[in-house]
Amino acid sequence: MKILIVEDSRATLLIVSKFVERFGAQAICTENGHQAIAAFHQEQPDMVLLDVLLPDIDGFAVARQFRALEKPGAWTPIIFLSAMTSDSDLEKGIAAGGDDYLYKPVSEAVLSAKIRAMQRIIQMRTSLVVLARELDTANQELKRISASDGLTGIANRRFFDDYLSREWRRARRGSGEISLLMCDVDQFKIFNDTYGHQSGDDCLRQIAHTLRNTMERASDIAARYGGEEFAIVLPDTPLEGARIVAERVRLAVHNLKLTHSGSPYLHITISIGLATLSPADSEGGQQALIEGADRALYRAKSAGRNIVCCHEPVLES
Please report the beta strands in 212-269, taking only residues with DSSP state E, as ranges in sequence order: 221-226, 229-235
pLDDT at 315: 52
Would the pLDDT of 316 be above 60?
Answer: no
Amino acid 88: pLDDT: 81
Cα 205 from Cα 203, distance rounded (Å): 5
Alpha helices in 148-187 (DSSP H): 157-174
Q: Give yes or no for residue 87 having a pLDDT over 70.
A: yes
Residue range 185-192: mean pLDDT, rounded: 96
Return the pLDDT at 136.
Answer: 86
* Confidence (pTM): 0.62
Average pLDDT over residues 248-262: 96
What are the tens digits of pLDDT across the range 45-62? 999 999 998 999 989 999
For residue 137, what pLDDT is reported? 85
Chain-centroid distance, C-alpha 157: 21
| Mean pLDDT, the chain, whole residue set | 91
Residue type, 178: I
Q: Judge contact between 236 and 176, C-beta under 8 A.
A: yes
State residue 313's pLDDT score: 65
- Eight-state DSSP code of residue 71: P
d(CA 102, CA 90) in angstroms, rounded, equals 10
Q: In which band, very low, low, confident or very high, does the pLDDT at 314 lie, cut at 50, 70 and 90?
A: low
Share of the chain above pLDDT 90, in %: 68
Q: Is the peptide bond before 279 cis (omega within 30 degrees of 0)?
A: no
CA angle 51, 53, 57 (to 5 degrees): 100
In terms of Cα–Cα distance, which of 120, 118, 113, 123 is closest to 98? 118
117-168 residue pLDDT tens: 888 888 888 888 888 888 888 888 787 778 899 999 999 999 999 999 999 9
Burial of 236 from C-beta contacts in 10 A (0-12 / 13-18 / 19+): middle
Mean pLDDT of 9-18: 92
For the residues 28-48, what does the mean pLDDT come to?
93
**Sheet strand arrangement including 78-82:** 26-30, 2-6, 47-51, 78-82, 100-103
